[in-house]
Amino acid sequence: MDCVKSADAFERAKAVIPGGVNSPVRSFYAVGGLPRFIVKGKGSKIYDIDGNEYIDYVCSWGPLILGHCDERVISAVAKSVNGGLTFGAPTEGETKLAELICESFPSVEKVRLVNSGTEAVMSALRLARAYTGREKIIKCAGCYHGHVDNLLVQAGSGLASLGLPGSKGISVSQANQTVVVPYNDSQAVRSAFEKFAGQIAAIIVEPVAGNMGVVPPKGDYLAELRRICDDNDALLIFDEVITGFRIARGGAQELFGIRSDITILGKIIGGGMPVGAYGGRSEIMDLLAPLGQVYQAGTLSGNPIAVAAGIATIEKLNEQGVYNRLEKSAQRLEVGLLEAAERAGVKISINRVGSMLTIFFADGKIENYEDVAKADKEKYSRFFHLMLDGGIYLPPSAFESMFVSLAHSSEDIEFTIERAGKSFEQLRITG
């Protein structure tokens, strides 16, 4: 595969951008080799500057549930662009997107739009502290909630990929406000509430973890979290930046039937444009300025173009049968990959919820960050490169989710399974 142009582009980028990338997960640092510089995407495929084509299972890390350059989204964006890029004044589109979110998430009566998931989380924590009058936040090891200062402790995604326990530059007082517990362990949460009685404002959790690879909630874990929060007058915050509109229209809350107090959204609700949102019951959300005394603002919040892309995406997802189609494609991919690995004699374990899935090179169940950490990362890296050379673009890290979009055809899925079969075979030969 010819990658001369990507190699040149990376050298140029490294001279002026730290690590050559604007987000560490793009750097291929975890898997080695050269990040591909992308020029365009269409449907299920992306194309690099050397003219190589790949079936894309990163989908911009989740937003592109309709695939690249969906006509409905592109024409909504084009129409919006022609009407002006930003006004710093209210638009009806913002209300429309908020209505679509509230309709899909019954726990959300009111919602604020911001520019990224990180911003939404940061604002939600402020709100939770104001509402409860408490300071501490519980998070789970391996969950990632954007690069919010006090949540960059035992975080997944890029930190896990780079093997960083946390980030430098976080003040000790901030870090001390975070209590870390294992994912899928409600007893650990109860113990934390006992230890810090009257001090915990909220639990923030990815209801289906997607940033340590996919790890589903076990048994009644989410119901237990709900119960513990109710027993202790604390708030339950679901970070549904990945799962919102992905595993069901109403996210994990719909799939598992649990209501959160505050919901964080992003990715799909911007249809590929920068957006984030946080919402919940009116009594909580009305603490925000101008009604209340919790301040949060933004020049580009609710940007009309991002809102137009989000509305077009969600309207498509409102069509009958969409989530069944996603489920069918992703299920076929899961089964095909498992069979191919078994044929080749390579041990893998796949976690999948709807159209998000992760291949772990491990024997046995993956239920928390400790299990994830034991999986064979080196093998994943070799698999990643074999697949890349075969025209399949997987997440460049063993700690991320693959995403199947509505644009992935059955031919794409079968081609991917076939390539995976060859790659597993190669792994078996090379050990």
Q: Which residues are catalytic?
A: 144, 239, 267
Bridge partners of 205, per DSSP, are 238
Give 244 or 390: the residue with its C-beta nearer to ligand HOZ.
244
CB-nearest residue to ligand HOZ: 23
Q: Which amino acid is at 273?
A: M
- The residues, ordered by sequence, that sit 6+ positions from 358 with a Cβ below 8 Å of its Cβ are 213, 214, 350, 351, 352, 366, 400, 401, 402
Question: Distance between CA 175 and CA 211 in Å, rounded?
Answer: 20
Residue 18 as a binder of ligand HOZ (CB under 6 A): the answer is: no
Count of residues near ligand HOZ by CB under 6 A: 7
First to last CA, the chain: 24
Collapsing DSSP to helix, strand or coil, 396 comes out as coil
- 403 CB contacts (<8 Å, ≥6 apart)? 57, 58, 59, 61, 62, 64, 65, 246, 355, 356
Distance (Å) of CA 75 to CA 43, 69, 70, 311, 408: 15, 9, 9, 12, 21
**For ligand HOZ, which residue of 211, 301, 303, 423 counts as binding (CB under 6 A)?**
211
Among 48, 119, 400, 412, binds ligand HOZ (CB under 6 A): 400
The token duo for 54 is 């790949």
- Type of residue found at 71: E
Choose which of 35, 158, 213, 271 interacts with ligand HOZ (CB under 6 A): 158
Helix (H, G, I), strand (E, B) or coil at 71: helix
**Is 367 a binder of ligand HOZ (CB under 6 A)?**
no
* Residue 410 makes contact with ligand HOZ by CB under 6 A: no
Per CB under 6 A, the list member of 9, 10, 20, 25 interacting with ligand HOZ is 25
In angstroms, what is the minimal distance from the CB of 267 to ligand HOZ?
8
Q: Which is nearer to ligand HOZ, 33 or 421 (CB)?
A: 33
**Position 119 contacts ligand HOZ (CB under 6 A):** no
Task: Identify the residue among 115, 118, 157, 178 touching ligand HOZ (CB under 6 A).
Answer: 157
Q: Does 171 bind ligand HOZ (CB under 6 A)?
A: no
CA neighbor of 215 nearest in space, from 352, 415, 74, 48: 352
CB of 25 to ligand HOZ, least distance (A): 4
Q: Give me the least distance between CB of 399 and ligand HOZ, in Å please.
A: 8
User: Should residue 28 be labelled a site residue for ligand HOZ when binding is judged by CB under 6 A?
Assistant: no
Provide the token pair at 216. 């589903």
* DSSP conformation class of 147: S
Q: What is the DSSP letter of 289?
A: T
Type of residue numbered 142: G
Residue 61 binding ligand HOZ, by CB under 6 A: yes
DSSP state of 286: T
Q: Is 403 in the site for ligand HOZ (CB under 6 A)?
A: no
Under the binding rule (CB under 6 A), the answer on residue 232 touching ligand HOZ is no
Cα separation, 61 vs 25, whole angstroms: 10
Contact 355, 65 (CB under 8 A): yes
When binding is defined by CB under 6 A, the residue of 7, 8, 23, 171 that contacts ligand HOZ is 23
Q: Which residue's CB is nearer to ligand HOZ, number 37 or number 61? A: 61
Q: Smallest gap, in angstroms, from Cβ of residue 243 to ligand HOZ?
A: 11
Q: How far is the CB of 242 from ligand HOZ (least distance, A)?
A: 6
Q: How far apart are CB 309 and ligand HOZ at their closest, in Å?
A: 18
Question: Would you tell me which residues interact with ligand HOZ (CB under 6 A)?
Answer: 23, 25, 61, 157-158, 211, 400
